[in-house]
Structure 1
Amino acid sequence: MKENIDKLPSPWVSAIPLVVLTLLLYAVIRAFGGGAIDGGSQIALLSATSVCVMLSIGLYRCRWSVLEEAIIENIRASASAILILLLIGAIAGTWMISGVVPTLIYYGLKILHPTFFLVASCAICAIVSLMTGSSWTTIATIGVALMGIGRAMGFPEGWVAGTIISGAYFGDKLSLLSDTTVLASSTVGVNIFTHIRYMLYTTVPSMLIALATFTVAGLTLAHGTSTHAEFYAETLAATFRISPWLLLVPLATGILIVRKLPAIVTLFCAVVFACVAMLAAQPHLVMQVGGGAELDAMTAFRGVLTTCYGHTAIPTGVAQLDELVATRGMAGMLNTVWLIICAMCFGGVMTGSGMLRSLTEIFLRWVRRTFSAVASTVGAGIFFNLCTADQYISIILSGRLFRDLYAERGFEARLLSRSVEDSATVCSVLIPWNSCGMTQATVLGVSTFVYMPYCIFNIVSPLMSLLVAAIGWKIKKQQ
């Protein structure tokens, strides 16, 4: 990518677009709250982009053609990520209406027991989030249901919220369907399967510590009994045809992943598998979504396509479950796609103008070893979460800022993508004014400061990243 190499901008001037972006995002979050991603954050990014362009051209005589080429190259590099996100939207719809996700939730709810409620809640949210790729959806749906169950059992609401958030962010972080996972890997330029496999070295130990903590808490905290879990499970069974045969869909997808097929091919096959399962196992739902009086060829065609690209809402009679089984398809990913394009514009002009390089030079002066590189990345991810109040922006800025630095120091790109996820993704929900923190506090009805100490996975993840870097486990330098 071309840079304005005639005169490298001053770090102070280079920081101005970031300051403008931070202030604008702060105002957007205050004004729109959890709806900031619907357009406000995108306008903030484009506004900060224009500031960067004006400074580059006005102060450093950078040619617009250089900036334009950098923007185009950035957007071109994100094309596969955008296609993956659209396929993720299709999977979210087809896996839900086909009964794959409801079957997984059904069997998960069956294992609930008061003594092991906390650890089971964490595990259920992890599975649901892993299969749906969305921590927000998991928390806002099954998480809300588990909050009600936990309160009925007499558990402190901070503990219950902490287990839900820990499980949801674990699944989100490792899911092929997660937009943050796709964003982190694509921003750094790492194959998504490589990225997910490498995250296991920090994510699994962090989750084991969280599960152990929740197990001990469940054995020691006072609690009662509840039949809520059984009620939700039976409601799902009354709406969907629950069958262990439906688990063949995620199993077949897993086989494709193990065989290391390209992500786009794997995800497309996953959609096809689910469409076949939908027609075989849930013809009544296909007819309902397709809007026909009977399941003829045209109704089936409309139902399958609507499930892939559009909004679906299957009534279950229970508000929380209605929200859980509602899907948005490919259309539901368009705000994230819009955000990525705007972020790529901002990153492009920051790179093309040399401003990103100027800021990176500051870190180059003292980042010598693996630990200092990872510590800087983790610190930057948390810092951007604090400043920009948005995890998506934090992921993009952290990845773009350190990508060249890691390459020059000989560190693997997958180390950067993992460090970004260990900080920018999981810590966003711990910050009260961050869009994630505000949303989850509102959805669960628990203050961020109340649930924060009990989000064990989210707290341990960045520390585990630092520990693994300190001992050098599975970390190699490129030759």
Structure 2
Amino acid sequence: MPKISKQPRLPSVREIIVLLLFFMAIMFSSVSVFEIDISLSLFIVWFVVIFFGLYLGHTYDDLQESIIKGITNGLQAPLIILAVGSLIGTWIAGGVVPSIIYYGLEIMHPSVFLPGTVIICAITSLATGTSWGTAGTAGIAMMGIGQSFGLPLPLVAGAVISGSFFGDKLSPISDTTVLTASLSKVKLMDHIRSMLYVSLPAIIITAILFYIAGMLYGNENVDVSKVQENANALNSHFNIGWYSLIPALIVMMLLALNKPSIPTITFGALLGVIWSWAFQGVDFIPALKTAYEGYSANTGIEFLDILLNRGGISSMSGLVVFFLVALGFGGLMEQTGVIKVVSDILSRWAKNAGRLTVSTIAAGFFGNFFGSAAFVALITATKMTGENYDKLKIERRVLSRNAETGGTLTGVMIPWTENAMYMTAVLGVSTFAYAPFVWFPFIAITIAVIYGYTGKFIWYVEDEPTVEEEYRAHTQ
């Protein structure tokens, strides 16, 4: 056991690098080589960081308290996950998701399906303010349609995630959007307008790329007879009708009216139970059980079995465990001072708008990499670099834009973050598989960095006029 000093100290850069190497070795070997569950891998890392904290002079009680604090600060996310799990189970049982897929198969052509998915998910996320809710509802439906068209599922997942995060970043009712504006100390609509300069061109380029991809894949791999067979199979196992879309419309409307996410999604799950009983001929109690157990079917048709056998609170239990472990890990990283040391390094390096943009995005990536949660990444991005914007007299709406870009968009590309784990659980595609096709975050980050180094859409704070200057201005 190392000697524990009376006063804890900050880690050195060399010590942080060693910790980073340990972290990467454990995570990548566990996931890629030994195929250990990612929650267990992160739990093992807990004790590496705890030992590191003791080495720096922290007491075990303080380190344990930081774990509890980290979990408490982010506890809303696991609660949303449980609600979404119940929603998926009952909406499949109630025919909501099958009806959306059925109509999608009837209306959409494979060549325009991918950009259509981007647009549909973008609009849904913009209206509801939640990328998670969008992926868990419209996203699942798009995955089913894409599978029928013979498109690679990682490619479809990339379109779903790209559209979902575009809308989420611009929605005034998104929790991360509101949090970013608050942490950056800017007005919410000023932050959203600043984000438009990055997000709008990024989503246009993304949609064009997916259109090209759809032309390459859609026309070659689609089997029209197979598509019709899947549509007929859905129609034979469910009562398909316009009325099945009503729960989805109600939930979207409530979220658009800025109603709380957890009760709204849970109410949507209840509507799924009612629709199962009223329109699908399922007894009420078995329909209610799908909220916990998920929907289960053995149709003998591979497409339907993959689509239907999912959802329920129980299916999300592993993801909830991961979130608790990830949030606790973020608390440990804060307590040991790793975040503060990296903040000081970035502060000394960022001497112009270009470097400042890169440092903010890097700080967000750092928060996701070590904290595994978007709220941690947003805190690190704003706290690590906020004062540098003031020193360079750059408006803080540029900070909020860069923090949002680095703090939320990078997380979906790191396998052990909350966003990546959620998307993997809901869409059924691993992070490593879909990451090359999540084009919106890559393009948005590139545009933000270009703005930083070219000075485009970088706004500066005007110096306050002196008393003499004000006098001259009024007397001329």
8 Å CA contact 1:142–1:320 kept in 2: the answer is no
- Which residue of the partner structure matches residue 67 of structure 1? 63
Distance 1:250 1:163 in 2: 25
Residue 121 of structure 1, CA deviation: 6.6
CA 1:407–1:46: 2 relative to 1, 3 Å: farther
Q: What residue is the counterpart of 1:357 in the other structure?
A: 340
**Aligned partners of 1:170 and 1:203 also within 8 Å:** no
Q: Trace 1:240-279 onto structure 2 (pairs within 5 A).
A: 240-279=238-277
TM-fit CA distance, 1:319: 0.5
Shift of 1:25: 0.8
Please say which of residues 108-117 and 17-26 is displaced more in the overlay.
108-117
Number of the residue aligned with 1:419: 406
TM-score by length of structure 1 reads 0.71
1:303 counterpart residue number: 287
Counterpart pick for 1:460 among 432, 435, 443:
443
CA contact (8 A) 2:118 2:160 kept: yes
1:321 alignment partner, one of 295, 300, 304? 304
Map of 1:42 onto structure 2: 39
Structure 2: segments with no counterpart, 5+ residues = 1-5, 126-131, 169-173, 390-395, 462-476
Q: What is the aligned counterpart of 2:33 among 17, 22, 31?
A: 31
Q: What is the percentage of aligned positions where both structures have the same residue?
A: 22
The answer on 1:94 being equivalent to 2:90 is yes
- Counterpart residue number, 1:168: 160
CA offsets 1:424-467 (integer angstroms, 9 cap, x no match) = 31x459xxxx999999xx979xx969x94x76445424324445
Higher Cα radius of gyration: 2
Q: CA RMSD in A?
A: 4.7
CA positional deviation for 1:271:
2.0
Q: Structure 1's 121 and 350: CA in aligned 2 closer, same or farther, altered over 3 A? A: closer
Judge conservation of contact 1:249–1:274 (CA < 8 Å) in 2.
yes
Cα distance per residue 1:382-423 (max 9 Å; x no partner): 7899x89xxx94858745643532555575668534433322
Matches within 5 A, 1:139-178: 141-147=144-150, 163-173=155-165
Q: Provide the rounded CA distance (Å) in 2 between the counterparts of 1:22 and 1:136.
A: 31
CA contact (8 A) 1:75 1:344 kept: yes
Q: Shift of the alpha carbon at 1:266?
A: 2.1
1:74–1:347 CA contact under 8 A, matched in 2: yes
Q: Aligned in 2, Cα 1:336/1:468: closer, same or farther, shift over 3 Å?
A: farther
Alpha-carbon offset, residue 18 of structure 1:
2.5
Give the unaligned 5+ runs of structure 1. 151-159, 177-181, 287-294
Q: Which range is displaced more, 364-373 or 241-250? A: 364-373
Report the residue type matching 1:353 in the other structure: T
Q: Is the 8 A contact 1:188 1:413 kept in 2?
A: yes
Closer, same or farther in 2 for the Cα pair 1:401/1:230, shift >3 Å? same
Alignment partners' CA distance in 2, 1:169 and 1:90? 21
Does the alignment pair 1:345 with 2:345?
no
Aligned residues: 422
Question: Shift of residue 317 of structure 1?
Answer: 3.6
Change (3 A) 1:471 1:383: same
- The 2-side partners of 1:81 and 1:346 are apart by 15
Deviation at 1:318, TM superposition (A): 1.9
If the length of structure 2 is used for normalisation, what is the TM-score?
A: 0.71
Give 3-state SS (helix, strand or coil) of 1:365's partner: helix
Distance 1:428 1:230, change over 3 A: farther
Judging changes above 3 Å, is the alpha-carbon distance between structure 1 residues 263 and 353 closer, same or farther for their aligned structure 2 residues?
same
Distance in 1 between the 2:362 and 2:67 partners? 27
Give, in whole Å, the separation in 1 of the partners of 2:328 and 2:353. Answer: 30
> Which structure would you say has the larger RCO, counting Cα contacts within 8 Å and 6 or more residues apart?
1
Change (3 A) 1:408 1:270: farther
1:133 and 1:172 in contact (8 A); partners too: no
Structure 1 residues 259 and 7: CA distance shift in structure 2, 3 A = same
Supply the distance in 2 between the matched residues of 1:337 and 1:467 (Cα, whole angstroms).
Answer: 38
1:133 equivalent to 2:131? Answer no
